[in-house]
A and B are shown apart, each in its own frame.
Chain A
């Protein structure tokens, strides 16, 4: 069975600085997708970024980028120029042939 592990329950960063959130996963599938979702206190899950496993190029969305290491089964999220509005829970998720599987989340605090 596939698993997703987020080993950092909490992280903090100062405004305008860069922070990296870690995620590892375990799978025997070759075709899958990886996601980072943001969940602010409003509880709505918001898609941050998506990576197709067959693509070697790391996905980027404005200030958000990933470091996808397929052999190591690692999928970290880098947030550059952190803003107060980035404060939220961040969930890493895996989607193969079966259901979408989430990690336990990392709470990101942003300090002014």
Chain B
């Protein structure tokens, strides 16, 4: 069974530029999550989708971050414009359902904002 796929693996941009990350969850997983992990910290949830609807985006900085999950499968996370403090690893995870099931993580995208 294929795991969660993410691309790109690494991205370096200058502040005020825009960037987008892509995630393909495990086949059949209805719930998809985006996390931000700053160096030295545990991951923090940015947004959670159930199929193609948003369940929780309370910690998403909506003035610069946006995310979508078209057709309930792949998802894209965008940052526009980027700030220095956005430098982090962005992790995508998926699970069969959002209440009981284990979340499985992708390899992450390491973003550096200069």
Contacts and interface: CB of A to CB of B under 8 A. Distances in A.
B44 to A, nearest CB: 8
Interface in B76-114: 89, 91, 93, 99-100, 102-108, 110
A46 B37 CA distance: 15
Interface in B3-51: 33, 37, 40-45, 48
Contacts of A44: 105-108
A102 B42 contact: yes
A99 interface: yes
A50 B100 CA distance: 11
A50 B42 contact: no
Contacts of A97: 99
Contacts of B45: 99-100
Given A43-B89, A45-B43, A105-B42, A100 B103 contact: yes
A83 interface: no
Contact of B100 (A33, A37, A91): A33
A35 B102 contact: yes
A88 to B, nearest CB: 13
Interface in A22-75: 33, 35, 37, 42-47, 50
18 contacts: A33-B100, A35-B102, A43-B89, A43-B91, A43-B107, A43-B108, A43-B110, A44-B105, A44-B107, A45-B43, A45-B93, A45-B105, A47-B102, A93-B42, A99-B48, A99-B56, A102-B42, A102-B43
